[in-house]
């Protein structure tokens, strides 16, 4: 058996752990030959597909490495035109691949699903620090991102306290607030603002003023997709030609501008950006990624094509790619962490007295 592996979309800690587990599992259990495709679907779209053999040696010693040894692309989209789709299918056949393991986020799962509809034998593995893939309650990379943001908030706590400032820290996460919520709680943020709950600027200002009166600094943790009541998303760039054309970012600065005239403390903003995606995966993510990779190999060996590995209610399993290809898994309004945050006095941007 000859199987291809590619990583698509933005990178995330734990990708190499998945590559290693898929390859080792397939080699050990069925003597498969495993081929790595470079730079995601871009490597399959070029005239001469860019591939390299993933031997046992090639995937040894990479468990703890951040990024992806195969490279990735978040621009290549084989579904953009029928000619591109046909080209990818032709290359897969020419390479003698009996199946393809696609490790990627919602965009890559949509592509995998589209290619499966054209007969490609594909298995998906969900990756994203955002933790927002439908049908999957924990994606690897998320735990590492939360650890990174938590450490940053802890550092901001001490300098905020020294100066009596309001410190705003912006996390990634796109339209889902998982990173801001978990890291905000872990870092003892006083205010957590999520894309799922439009915030009331007057309420946030009132919380900051009340804290300042007690000589307390304020930490605000805000997800990049958060917006004020009646306001719009903060968009950094529109990038046509990408599966996800809106690049978010800068909401912390927008909030700082709106907040400063309403409070007497100094307000500062920190945008953490891509540090959240870099570096070595946490032990939790290494283990989760290893399980996902091994599970993907089991799906390949069972010829369970068109499916994506998942974790649901703590159990590994799989769902049809069709169920994971669309939408974003947001924090539900009745989530236990939202309730706990409110109950311990964390402000979630809601109108005071509401
Ligand atoms: O989806 C992962 C993610 O890191 C988002 O949290 C963020 O909005 C986006 O990717 C950033 O993408 P890029 O790498 O294109 O800047």
What end-to-end distance do the CA atoms of the chain give, in Å?
61
Ligand 1, atom 10, lies closest to the CA of: 10
pLDDT at 20: 98
pLDDT at 77: 92
Cα–ligand 1 centroid distance for 352 (angstroms): 32
pLDDT at 198: 98
Coil/strand/helix, residue 314: coil
Residue spans of alpha helices (H) in 31-173: 42-45, 82-94, 106-117, 142-163
Cα–ligand 1 centroid distance for 6 (angstroms): 18
Catalytic-labelled residue, pool 39, 106, 130, 143: 130
pLDDT at 243: 73
Which residue matches tokens 């890291």?
183
The 8-class DSSP code of residue 174 comes to: T
Residues 128 and 142 sit within 8 Å (Cβ to Cβ): yes
pLDDT at 286: 98
pLDDT at 300: 98
pLDDT at 327: 83
The crossing angle, in degrees rounded to 10, of helices 142-163 and 283-301 is: 160
CB distance 130 to ligand 1 below 6 Å: yes
**Annotated catalytic residue 200:** no
Q: Which atom of ligand 1 is nearest to the CA of 225?
A: 8
pLDDT at 325: 77
33-54 confidence digits (pLDDT tens): 999 999 999 999 999 999 999 9
Cα–ligand 1 centroid distance for 98 (angstroms): 31
Ligand 1 pocket test, candidate residues 71, 76, 107, 172, most atoms within 8 A of CB: 172
Q: Which atom of ligand 1 is nearest to the CA of 277?
A: 4
Which of the residues in the chain have pLDDT under 70? 354
CB distance 173 to ligand 1 below 6 Å: yes
CB distance 325 to ligand 1 below 6 Å: no
pLDDT at 273: 97
Ligand 1, atom 13, lies closest to the CA of: 10
Taking the whole predicted model, whether its pTM rises above 0.85 is answered as yes
CB distance 8 to ligand 1 below 6 Å: no
CB distance 171 to ligand 1 below 6 Å: no
Ligand 1 pocket test, candidate residues 7, 8, 9, 10, most atoms within 8 A of CB: 10
Ligand 1, atom 14, lies closest to the CA of: 10
List Cβ neighbours of 228 (8 Å cut-off, separation of 6 or more).
Answer: 198, 199, 200, 201, 258
231-288 confidence digits (pLDDT tens): 999 999 998 877 778 999 999 999 999 999 999 999 999 999 999 999 999 999 999 9
| CA-wise closest residue to 10 among 107, 84, 147 | 107
């Amino acid at each position: 058996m000859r199987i291809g592996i590619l990583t698509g979309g933005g990178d995330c800690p734990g990708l190499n752990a998945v590559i290693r587990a898929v390859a080792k599992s397939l080699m050990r259990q069925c003597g498969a030959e495993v081929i790595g495709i470079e730079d995601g679907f871009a490597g399959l779209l070029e005239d001469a597909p860019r591939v390299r053999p993933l031997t046992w040696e090639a995937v040894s010693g990479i468990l703890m490495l951040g990024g992806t040894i195969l490279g990735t692309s978040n621009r290549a989209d084989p579904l953009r035109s029928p000619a591109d789709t046909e080209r990818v299918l032709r290359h897969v056949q020419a390479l003698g691949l009996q199946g393809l393991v696609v490790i990627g986020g919602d965009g890559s799962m949509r592509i995998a699903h589209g290619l499966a509809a054209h007969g490609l034998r594909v298995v998906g593995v969900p990756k994203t620090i955002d933790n927002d893939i439908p049908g999957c309650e924990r994606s690897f990379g998320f735990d590492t991102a939360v650890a990174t943001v938590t450490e940053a908030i802890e550092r901001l706590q001490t300098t905020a306290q020294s100066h009596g400032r309001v410190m705003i820290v912006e996390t990634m996460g796109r339209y889902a607030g998982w990173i801001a919520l978990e890291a905000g709680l872990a870092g003892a943020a006083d205010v957590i603002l999520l894309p799922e709950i439009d915030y009331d600027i007057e309420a946030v200002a009132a919380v900051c003023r009340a804290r300042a009166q007690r000589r307390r600094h304020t930490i605000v943790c805000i997800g990049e997709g958060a917006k004020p009541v009646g306001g719009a998303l903060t968009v950094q760039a529109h990038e046509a030609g990408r599966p996800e054309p809106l690049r978010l970012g800068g909401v912390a600065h927008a909030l700082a501008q709106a907040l400063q005239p309403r409070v007497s403390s100094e307000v500062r903003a920190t945008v953490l950006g891509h540090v959240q995606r870099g570096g070595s995966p946490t032990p939790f993510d290494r283990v989760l990624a290893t399980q996902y990779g091994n599970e993907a190999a089991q799906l390949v060996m069972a010829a369970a094509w068109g499916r994506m590995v998942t974790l649901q209610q703590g159990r590994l399993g799989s769902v049809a790619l069709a169920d994971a290809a669309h939408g974003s898994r947001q924090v539900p309004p009745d989530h236990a962490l939202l309730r706990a945050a409110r109950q311990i006095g964390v402000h979630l941007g809601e109108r005071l007295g509401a």
